[in-house]
Structure 1
Amino acid sequence: MFARIITELGPWSWWVLGMILLAAELIMPGVFLVWIGVGAILTGALSLLFWEMGFWTWQLQAVLFAVFAGAAALAGRRLFKRLDADTDEPMLNQRSASLVGRTAVLQEPIREGRGRIKLDDTFWTVEGPDLPAGTRVKIVASSGRDLTVDAA
């Protein structure tokens, strides 16, 4: 089936696949299908050059597509890692991590290691030593949605 599709569409089959993958990236963003699409377009560019050559079999095209997609993914990863610059808001979108160091009053006592505090407009589950409600606590660590506290 794969060989038949490539034969019918000719060198444009890779271009079509590349465009479909790029369009799919718009629908399902995640910056991964872009690199596979780039691999398909690069294979399509070579197909335009070598389509009539005897060595340009669908097996060679598939291998080159895999190599190009892998290389594009690695290059894209390196590019985005380099573009990941320091920011003036390092805790942006890490709300629980940004709470470390703050103090609060226990809304519910910590029993068996778990209780609740209210910070701003949100109730947070806390872990720490057993303490009665109304005790002032300091947030010392965060793990996902849970905060670890000690008596302040």
Structure 2
Amino acid sequence: MLARIIAELGPWAWWVLGIVLLILEVLMPGVFLVWIGIAAILTGALSLVLWEQAAWTWQVQWIVFAALSLAAALVGRRIVRSRGDKSDQPYLNQRGRSLVGRTAVLEQPIREGRGRIRLDDTVWTVEGPDLPVGARVRVTASNGRDLTVEEA
């Protein structure tokens, strides 16, 4: 039944496939099916021109579609990468990294390389040189959970 529908649609079958893929991209966003959908539509455009040619067999059409899909995916990847959208909040969900450069006073002394500071409403475990309670420190790095500090 499917073969009969494709045979009746002729070169328009590629257009239908391309539109279905574009609709699936809208329903399941991921910016990948769009490039394959574009390749199907381009194959359909070639099919409209070459449909009567003896060399334009279904095998050739699938090879052209595969090549166009690969080329479209590579071009699409380059386009997406070149956009370079800059975030207005580059440290969103990276709170430790947003604290680099800030200074604080030690709440607990740094002994054997570990201590605690309070920044805003959070007490952070810090790593750095041994220092007494009340010493001013500057945050130099974050590993996600702990902060690295040096004497300010």
TM-score, normalised with respect to structure 2: 0.68
Correspondence 1:36 to 2:36: yes
| Residue 27 of structure 2: aligned partner | 27
Partner secondary structure for residue 149 of structure 2: strand
Counterparts in 2 of 1:1-152, with a 5 A limit?
Answer: 6-84=6-84, 87=86, 89=88, 91=90, 93=92, 95-96=94-95, 97-104=97-104, 119-120=119-120, 123=122, 126=125, 128-129=127-128, 137-143=137-143, 145-152=144-151
Give aligned-pair identity as a percent: 54
1:141 is paired with a residue whose SS is strand
SS of the aligned residue for 2:140 comes to strand
- Unmatched segments (≥5 aa) in structure 1: none
Query: Is contact 1:124–1:147 with CA below 8 Å preserved after alignment?
Result: no
**Contact conserved, 1:114 with 1:125, CA < 8 A, in 2?**
no
- Unaligned stretches of 5+ in structure 2? none
Q: Distance in 1 between matches of 2:129 and 2:4?
A: 70
Tell me how large the CA RMSD over aligned residues is.
3.8
One-letter amino acid matched to 2:12: W
Structure exhibiting the larger radius of gyration computed from Cα positions: 2
Quote the offset at 1:38 in angstroms. Answer: 0.8
CA deviations 1:32-52 (Å, max 9, x no partner) are: 221111111111111122223
Deviates more, 1:26-35 or 1:63-72: 26-35
